[in-house]
Amino acid sequence: MKVRTLLPSDRAGLLRLLDQSYDEVKRNPGLGESLRLERPKMSGQVKWFDEIRKLVRSGDAVFYVAEEKGDVIGFCSVVKKDIPESEMSHIGVLGVRVAEGWRGRGIGSKLMKQVLDKCKGKFEIVELFVFKPNEDAQRLYERFGFKAWGVAPRYIKRGKKYLDTVYMYLNL
């Protein structure tokens, strides 16, 4: 498994990974990933990828992928909280995703280490939110020094079920 920076050729693999989230949430409604209410069309997914590449080139995002034998199996990013420049531009928002079947092997940790190292000097604070029932993810974030600072009750509405989210932050 290799962790590396984002490449233009990663588009298909990243879009496949994001698309799989929708099927996985149907099987596991507690999956710790917030999604759009409807699966985005391909044009919307391509737009997302193009925007991420633009943010990385401008220095407003850090994005790494995990690859195994040419397949994208995970990613981690930190994106500037408020664009254009504002009083919150010193904050980055972390997102991480590892493909089903690849979790529990340290891939998320390797991705986060690379991304957080690259964020030093670029961001002062990195924040995230995690679904409250996802204790494994919370422990992962805590190992990296993230601290919880609050809970947003009923923040996610998935069908008829509500999920609380825990807000966490890391001072770099």
From residue 87, how far is each of 10, 52, 62, 81, 82 by CA, in Å? 33, 22, 20, 10, 8
Question: Could you tell me the residue ranges of all domains in the chain?
Answer: 2-122
The CA-atom distances, in angstroms, between 130 and each of 21, 62, 123, 168 are 16, 20, 20, 8
pLDDT in tens, the chain (172 residues): 999 999 999 999 998 888 887 777 777 766 666 656 566 676 777 888 999 999 999 999 999 999 999 999 999 999 999 866 788 889 999 999 999 889 889 999 999 999 999 999 999 999 999 988 888 889 999 999 999 999 999 988 888 889 899 999 999 9
83-88 long-range Cβ contacts below 8 angstroms, 24+ apart: 83/55
**pTM exceeding 0.75:** yes
Name which CATH class applies to 2-122.
Answer: alpha beta
